[in-house]
Chains A and B, each alone.
Chain A
Amino acid sequence: VNPQRQITAFFSTT
């Protein structure tokens, strides 16, 4: 099973 990454690992809070 491929672990799922999160959006917050790519885009940062403004």
Chain B
Amino acid sequence: MLELRLVQGSLLKKVLESIKDLVNDANFDFSSSGFSLQSMDSSHVALVALLLKSEGFEHYRCDRNTSMGMNLGNMSKMLKCAGNDDIITIKGDDGSDTVTFMFESPTQDKIADFEMKLMDIDSEHLGIPEAEYHAIVKMPSAEFARICKDLASIGDTVVISVTKEGVKFSTRGDIGTANIVLRQNTTVDKPEDATVIEMNEPVSMTFALRYMNSFTKATPLSNTVTISMSPDLPVVVEYKIAEMGYVRFYLAPKMEE
């Protein structure tokens, strides 16, 4: 028996919107402490890891660990039928080949249930070791999205370099080059507007902008994004989900020329 009631149902809608274009199908792993998902994109270049802890739910019941394979496109279609203010409940029964999403309007005058077919997904689970990163940049998520979008109109790859001067995003393409430098800026009215650079050692790595732009679909989940880099490790682009968990995107670097 599985029953998860999320008062802020829009969070789940936003989570799906942030990952559905990157990953087609994924296993949702439910346990008593929350649910998680880990999946690579079809070309095995990026990996998404999602965690939503049970504390974030108004009601959370998971009698035993269970894994449900879902097509994220289909799940997104169903969740789009929930209003932004709706309470969303996920329900499942042991051994069932379906999952039910229940949507309740805030005033309880409209209740809908959508039953979705589950699927068997044969997916690899990767071990992600704890790492000490050379540099961790925390910045406004909207600014990061803007930079990725702007650079993608010039080139296909971005070089992200962190030095004590700041963080530099560079690209080059047929029409020319672009460099955007952000300096550490903590003298802002709101903490979420700050750019904070923690650097142990300078680092410079190259990534495909197509993936970075896909990650920025998680921007509505969080005002800030954290970018963690070490040479010869995938970059981690993390969007924290308030009080509940995170969506993390891992992207393998390009080889340096």
Looking at the complex, which one of A5, A7, A11, A14 makes contact with B255 (CB distance below 8 Å)? A5
Looking at the complex, which one of A3, A10, A13 makes contact with B254 (CB distance below 8 Å)? A3
Asked if A7 contacts B125 (CB within 8 A), the reply is no
Assess whether B250 is interfacial by the CB under 8 Å rule.
yes
Asked if A7 contacts B253 (CB within 8 A), the reply is no
Looking at the complex, which one of B127, B206, B233, B252 makes contact with A6 (CB distance below 8 Å)? B252
- From B38-46, B75-83, B141-149, B177-185, the one touching the partner chain is B38-46
Q: Once bound together, how far apart are the Cα atoms of A3 and B135, in whole Å?
A: 23
- Which residues of B have CB within 8 Å of A11? 47, 126-129, 234, 250
Q: Once bound together, how far apart are the Cα atoms of A12 and B253, in whole Å?
A: 16
How many residues on the B side are at the interface (Cβ–Cβ under 8 A)? 26
Asked if B252 contacts A9 (CB within 8 A), the reply is yes
Asked if A8 contacts B254 (CB within 8 A), the reply is no
How far, in Å, is A5 (CB) from chain B's closest CB?
4
How many residues on the A side are at the interface (Cβ–Cβ under 8 A)? 13
- Which residues of A have CB within 8 Å of B44? 6-8
Asked if A4 contacts B252 (CB within 8 A), the reply is yes
How far, in Å, is B102 (CB) from chain A's closest CB?
33
- Which residues of B have CB within 8 Å of A4? 45, 208, 252, 254-255
Chain B contacts with A in 226-257, Cβ cutoff 8 A: 232-234, 250-257
Looking at the complex, which one of B126, B254, B257 makes contact with A5 (CB distance below 8 Å)? B254
Minimum CB distance partner of B253 in chain A: A5
Asked if B157 contacts A7 (CB within 8 A), the reply is no
Asked if B234 contacts A10 (CB within 8 A), the reply is yes
Asked if A2 contacts B157 (CB within 8 A), the reply is yes
Minimum CB distance partner of B250 in chain A: A7
Known A2-B257, A7-B126; 12 more pairs at CB < 8 Å:
A2-B254, A3-B255, A4-B252, A5-B45, A5-B254, A6-B43, A6-B45, A6-B252, A7-B40, A7-B44, A7-B45, A8-B126
Task: Show 5 residue pairs from A and B whose CB-CB distance is below 8 angstroms, ordered by the A residue.
Answer: A2-B254, A4-B208, A5-B253, A13-B124, A14-B127
